Amino acid sequence: MAKRRNLPYSFNLNVDHYGFPPSVGLYLPRGHVAPADSTQQRQQVKIVESEIEEKYKAFKQFDTVGDHSDHFYLKFRTVKKPSKDWVKRIQHEWKVLGKDLPDTIFVRAYEDRMDLLRAVIVGPAGTPYHDGLFFFDVYFPSQYPCKPPQVNYRSGGLRLNPNLYACGKVCLSLLNTWTGSGCEMWNPSTSTMLQVLVSIQALVLNAKPYFNEPGHSMYANTPLGEKLSLAYNEETFLLSCRTMLYSLRNPPKHFEHFIGGHFRKYGRDILVGCKAYMGGAQVGCLAGDGVQDVDEGDKSCSQNFKCSLEILFKGLINEFTDLGVGCHEFQAKIVNSGAAADTTLRL
């Protein structure tokens, strides 16, 4: 496979190291798997894994919860003496979310803070975000719906999309944080929180996020544009893997068992994808639990990408093993690959 040439219009997605805060802890304690002769400890591990599984299966798409102490908009004071129209509109939003959420979006509202929401969006298949979890904190201002909700992406300091900043800013015309016209902009009469979440999933977490960047759309459907897009997708998938590790090690409140259950269910698929990408398949070619056929001429995996992904691959195997995912076939690949990887969290 030919070496990738230096590309114009370069971008930097900071994939040299994990970059997580040093204080984050593991969802399950590192090394919790018991020695072979410790029956009691093995039983305890199975109990924990069973609890994760049960709570994941029972996890509702929409529900109300209490503790909001880790919410991004906690610093915003609650809406005092809200108008009846405001309360009625928020209740309507809850009703719509409870009835019409797609299978891959989950929302938690707060019993004592009607002005706050938290949502998680599962990365769509066929994109560099597949099987990842992307969290968003939401605030409804007192002027809502005359003003759109405020939305913050829980980035972990990573920018994996032109519309999702490392600081958490979400650029979307529907939120009036980006340019747009007509139905692209927030309309107090017709726009909803559900529309915002579905737009983020469909328009932001898409198959070719490179073209979301202003000025890049002019290269769409050109050889140069496709080359740049493929390179961007490789970098994006690395950041998506790092986001998986970040979420596992620093889960948002009320989503702990959902995160554990999600990666227990999809961990093997993610590792299959990583293995295929390290073998040269295009990022985003996954379809369900398999990998689509990729023509020889379509293979795009760069050597730098392979090296970076191999390190993250080992980190994901460690985390998924702790969750009870069967990773033996992938661990054998690590042993055969030789050098051990440093998966230490560091800034």
Query: What is the distance between the alpha carbons of residues 161 and 251, in angstroms, rounded to a whole number?
Result: 21
Residue 45 has what pLDDT?
Answer: 60
φ and ψ at residue 116, rounded to 5 degrees: -120, 150
Query: What is the distance between the alpha carbons of residues 104 and 120, in angstroms, rounded to a whole number?
Result: 8
- Which residue among 146, 167, 171, 274 is the active-site one? 171
Residue 181 has what pLDDT?
Answer: 79
226 class by beta-carbon count within 10 Å (0-12 exposed, 13-18 middle, 19+ buried): middle
Q: What is the pLDDT along the chain (347 residues), one digit of tens a residue?
A: 433 334 434 444 443 333 444 333 334 444 444 445 566 655 556 666 778 889 999 999 999 999 999 999 998 888 778 899 999 999 999 999 999 999 999 999 999 999 999 999 999 999 999 999 999 999 999 999 999 999 999 999 999 999 999 999 999 999 999 888 788 899 999 999 999 999 999 999 999 999 999 889 888 889 999 999 999 999 999 999 999 999 999 999 999 999 999 999 999 999 999 999 998 888 988 655 555 544 444 556 788 999 999 999 999 999 999 999 999 888 866 555 544 444 333 32
- Give the CATH class of 47-332: alpha beta
φ and ψ at residue 170, rounded to 5 degrees: -115, 115
Map out the domains of the chain as residue ranges: 47-332
Residue 285 is among the residues annotated as catalytic for this protein: no
